[in-house]
Amino acid sequence: MTVYLSGDTHLGHDAIRGYCARPFANIEEHDEALIGERNRIVGPNDTVYDLGDVTLGGEDMARGYFLRLNGKLFVLGNHFHHDKRWLKAKRPYWTKHHGVTILPPIHTMKIDGLFIVLCHFPLAIWPRRHFGSLHLHGHSHNRYKPERGLVLDVGVDSAIEKLGAYRPFSLGEVVKFMAGRDE
């Protein structure tokens, strides 16, 4: 089982193609490419932490997208931004194989001894920063470039630059990008 991190897919959001210079002819081609690339690397039992701005659509649109995705999906509850339209749903969401878990807007976790702080927005200070914890975020579409710190935008616009595809980062790839950075 592999852990992946992603964000800012903006499925169904036609204007994102212009805002972020995503090279797709239309939003349908965009959505198919992002879903296909994600499913190419994420297996049914892998875990994906999505840091928000999944889709601007409502409950039905979100449900349709989620049902096409592989993996166990954890989504940060970004009630302040685009996901607020579908987060208010009372019924649960599912991927192809698992339920979708909605997490708080800031989520901390420890994996293999590594302390990680997730938030849709980049933070200046985060828990255990001075002890080497990682901060992973989205929202900036790869425009926020901190001068120092163990912070990384794991959104798809960062992935296209760093990984060559609009896809999630594996936790192993995140660790490699953080190697040599100082607190």
CATH number at residue 79: 3.60.21.10
In a domain, 125, yes or no: yes
For residue 14, the model assigns a pLDDT of: 95
DSSP 3-state assignment of 183? coil
Tell me if 102 is assigned to some domain. Answer: yes
Instruction: Note the pLDDT of residue 183.
Output: 64
Q: How many domains does the chain have?
A: 1
pLDDT for the residue numbered 80: 63
pLDDT for position 153: 97
d(CA 141, CA 132): 24
What is the distance between the alpha carbons of residues 48 and 75, in angstroms, rounded to a whole number? 8
Please spell the DSSP secondary structure of 111-157, one letter per residue: ETTEEEEEESS--SS-TTGGGT-EEEE-SSTT----SSSSEEE-SHH
The pTM (predicted TM-score) of the whole model is 0.94
Angle at 57 between CA 15 and CA 88, to 5 degrees: 140
* Mean pLDDT in consecutive groups of 10 residues from the start of the chain, 183 residues: 96 95 97 98 97 90 95 84 79 92 94 94 91 93 82 96 96 91 69
Residue 183 resides in a domain: no
- pLDDT for 91 equals 84
Q: Are 181 and 146 in contact (CB under 8 A)?
A: no
What is the per-residue pLDDT for 3? 97
- Domain of residue 165: give its range: 3-178
| Both structure tokens of 141 | 């579409």
Q: What are phi and psi of 179, to 5 degrees?
A: -60, 130
Within a domain: 13: yes
